[in-house]
């Protein structure tokens, strides 16, 4: 089986990603599974190949690649390591794109070049223990100070949290103000009062750093505000729409890997059940690919893509889970070994129905868009 059939416009990036994945990522997958740490040096290699600046505009040191290019890269990486692909997706979408879209020229000039060349890694700090799917319910607080803003609170389940040099962070001036009280800030690692409280052990995506963050009287200057006060939820929701296309592409790559594993197992255990599983897996992966490419194409054209992003993320996540489950079923007792490829693929796939908006949230987003609120 070949990778997802991206159009000719993205072939160059896809081929580069496939070569890089085989050369630099595949040899590190087993160690990532054992240690649950992102491999030392791999971030630098990703940067040297231009992947960390993939979608950042050219004036700021990036490649200004299209959404279709980005989908091609993320799906190729997702085929060999969902953890590496997720790190890159977060960096490119929810961390970098809010600065591209909402940042002042001074903020863009200060932060985007370092994100593009890999001297900084980006993260996105929205989720809290009591505010996951309901972003408007965040309780991390900010208040005006003599020099700018002061933040207090915690964030939970933050991808890249332990590695990120720059975090797009969301806080509310008053929880009672709901969506109108939330603002976005650019927080650099090393800010006094900011710390990583713990690294979280996860079901899958081992090697992807997921953390709890603490803001204990973190002082930020006035120019750390991204956009305007009260604009934070708008920034967050737009970022998450962009991010869903990226995560859908990662899930597509994972689904493709699961299909390849299912076919490998099916050839070892031929029979009617294997044929049916292969047919279903192929159909699901092909449908997921079409949805992901549809969302990316609309994004590139400048057309609205909220529905398509949610549909792609929803279906690609489900396709990854169902195809990986079929591979586990065909493998039988062998898949009980945590090191079995089908076992790892299923653990990774299950995470995609949670991150960047659960499957239920995607259904609500779609339903509201289609039927109204």
- Just list the catalytic residues: 356
CB burial of residue 176 (10 Å; 0-12, 13-18, 19+): exposed
CA atoms within 13 A on the CB side of 12: 8
Within 189-231, residue ranges assigned H as helices are none
- What is the Cα–Cα distance from 99 to 239, expressed in whole angstroms? 10
- Alpha-carbon torsion, ordered 54, 56, 62, 67, to 10 deg: 40
For residue 5, the SS3 value is coil
Instruction: Provide CB contacts within 8 A for 347, sequence distance 6+.
Output: 203, 204
Pairing of strands 194-199, 166-172: unpaired
Q: Are 202 and 349 in contact (CB under 8 A)?
A: no
CB 274 within 8 A of CB 266: yes
Alpha-carbon distance 33 to 29, whole Å?
6
């Amino acid at each position: 089986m070949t990778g997802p059939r991206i159009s000719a416009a993205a072939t160059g990036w896809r081929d580069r990603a496939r070569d890089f994945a085989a050369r630099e990522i595949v040899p590190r997958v087993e160690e990532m599974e054992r240690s649950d740490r992102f491999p030392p040096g791999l971030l630098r290699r990703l940067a040297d190949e231009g992947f960390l600046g993939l979608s950042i505009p050219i004036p700021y040191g990036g490649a200004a690649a299209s959404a279709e290019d980005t989908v091609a890269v993320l799906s190729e990486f997702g085929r060999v390591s969902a953890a590496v692909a997720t790190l890159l997706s977060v960096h490119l979408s929810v961390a970098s794109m809010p600065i591209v879209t909402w940042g002042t020229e001074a903020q863009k000039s200060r932060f985007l070049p370092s994100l593009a060349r890999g001297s900084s890694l980006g993260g996105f700090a929205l989720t809290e223990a009591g505010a996951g799917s309901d972003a408007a319910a965040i309780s991390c607080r900010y208040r005006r100070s003599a020099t700018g803003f002061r933040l207090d609170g915690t964030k939970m389940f933050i991808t890249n949290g332990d590695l990120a040099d720059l975090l797009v962070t969301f806080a509310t001036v008053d929880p009672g103000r709901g969506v109108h009280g939330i603002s976005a800030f650019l927080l650099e690692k090393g800010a006094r009062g900011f710390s990583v409280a713990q690294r979280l052990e996860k079901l899958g995506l081992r090697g992807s750093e997921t953390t709890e963050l603490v803001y204990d009287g973190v002082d930020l200057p006035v120019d750390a505000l991204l956009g305007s006060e009260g604009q934070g939820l708008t920034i967050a929701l737009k970022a998450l729409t962009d991010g869903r296309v990226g995560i859908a592409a990662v899930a597509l790559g994972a689904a493709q890997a699961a299909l390849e594993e299912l076919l490998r197992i099916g050839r070892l255990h031929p029979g009617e059940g294997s044929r049916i599983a292969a047919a279903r897996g192929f159909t699901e992966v092909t449908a997921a690919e079409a949805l992901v490419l549809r969302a990316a194409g609309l994004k590139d054209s400048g057309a609205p893509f909220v529905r398509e992003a949610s549909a792609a993320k929803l279906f690609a996540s489900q396709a990854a889970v169902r195809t990986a489950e079929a591979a586990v079923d065909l493998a039988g007792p062998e898949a009980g070994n945590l090191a079995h490829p089908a076992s790892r693929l299923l653990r990774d796939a299950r995470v995609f129905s949670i991150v960047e908006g659960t499957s239920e949230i995607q259904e609500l987003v779609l339903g509201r868009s289609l039927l109204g609120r």
